[in-house]
Amino acid sequence: MATSLCTSARGEPKKPQAFDRHGVILLLNRSFHPDTEATGQFLTDLAAELAKSTPVTALCGRPYGVQDGFRGWRHVERHRGVRIIRVRHTRLPKAHFWGRLANWASYLSLTLLAALRERPRWLFVHTDPPLLGTLALALRRLHRCGIVYSVQDIYPDVAEELGVLRRAWITRLFDAANRRALREAHVIVALGRDMAARLAAKGIPDAHIRVIPHWVDTSAIRPVPAEDNEYLRDLGLQDRFVFMYSGNIGMTQDFDAFLDALSRVETDRSTWALLFAGGGAARARVEERVRALGLSNAVFLATQPREKLATLLSAGTLHLVPMKKGLAGCVVPSKIYGIMAAGRPYLALSDAECDMAGIAREEGCGLWSPAGDVDAARKQLEWAIAHRAEVEAMGRRGRALAETRYDAPLVLRRWVELFEEISPDRI
């Protein structure tokens, strides 16, 4: 029988302890509230849910695009019941590898110093930055605590596929360090079946791997009819078929393939439009590519407020979710859950074994095209324009799936139950 983390010697429920150095869960991840990155937002919601019954401290970094204004090397604050320790690491541009590496190194160093002051029972480790699991091993030996390793992306696999790491000895060293961190964790949580399969291929026993996907608040993100949609109205797109990309415009997405495909679509361009919403390291290059291809019916928006997400996602008739070839299981796009909650389908441009491709095919809530296959993507885009009723039916199926499988209360409850199951006395 599962044992709660917060029970008295008599087995009676205890109220959450006061915030002190001896909290139960210490969450480690660079991105956290008020960061606008998807991972940081998800982890903030998750930590707040766990904190309802268990003391949680998040040891995080400085958010990008937000002025924090604090001085010194660490700062302590509270948000939604979570004690937050924020360290003052570098924030060099992530588009440059050495800048990104400096950010990782400074965050890891300061996190180690800050974590030495804590006395957790569980380290709740994530993968921003990638070597955080190795740091957790040192803290585990010091504090004699357990490790729950939540894998958001798999390194060095991502860097290898993107061509960022080219020296074999560095890759082998990186991979060995992360494999050791994974092997010594008490529980490893993957975001999808494809990620679980990639972890198993690294020699991690299946019994140690759980699959818990990201989630969506279906009460906050709901379909907004076209006649009530301010984005469609203000941009003059109410009568257009809108292909949409919303989110981080980064290195793991293959924008070239679907932009090339859109440029070859033979349907009259006055009947459809391309809408981008978001920022990222690759945005400038994508804008340049759009101009080079003559896609004059494309519109770019900056990252939009979270409170407008339902309206924004509802502006797309079909969302585009591109992933570079070879990345299946390395990263798992969380954006599909918000898309489904908004009652919209998506086109997954990815490897066949990618989880989002499987969901689209198995549940009938989207389309799939092989990663990098421009002609196959063009055919899917043209089919969607010609079959709008079927596309809208896919969106309705996606909404139903979001409500019954990926709604926040359902998925967050699985996390609470996981921590109840692996109580500290089982370390």
Share of the chain above pLDDT 90, in %: 76
CA-to-CA dists, residue 29 to 37, 258, 279, angstroms: 12, 32, 21
**346 DSSP β-pair partners:** 319, 366
Residue 5 has pLDDT above 70, yes or no: no
At residue 14, the pLDDT reads 34
Q: Cα separation of 207 and 205, whole Å? A: 5
Region 114-125: mean pLDDT is 94
**C-alpha dihedral (215, 345, 242, 40), degrees to nearest 10:** 10
CATH second-level architecture of 25-215+407-426?
Answer: 3-Layer(aba) Sandwich (3.40)
Q: Cα separation of 422 and 338, whole Å? A: 30
pLDDT digits (tens, 9 = 90+) for 362-398: 999 999 999 999 999 999 999 999 999 999 999 999 9
Say which range, 8-17, 212-221, 362-371, 381-390, has the weakest mean pLDDT.
8-17
Task: Output the six-digit token pair for 197.
Answer: 């399969």
CA-to-CA dists, residue 21 to 74, 149, 384, angstroms: 15, 21, 55
pTM, rounded to two decimals: 0.88
Query: In the block, which residue shows the tokens 């989110």?
Result: 247
Q: Cα separation of 206 and 418, whole Å? A: 16
Domain with CATH 3.40.50.2000 in the chain: 25-215+407-426, 226-405
Say which range, 4-8, 26-30, 52-56, 221-225, has the weakest mean pLDDT.
4-8
Task: Output the six-digit token pair for 87.
Answer: 């360290």
Band of pLDDT at residue 95, cut at 50, 70 and 90 = low
- Provide the CATH number for the domain formed by 226-405 in this structure: 3.40.50.2000
Region 168-181: mean pLDDT is 86
The larger pLDDT score, comparing residue 9 to residue 88, is at: 88
Share of the chain above pLDDT 70, in %: 92
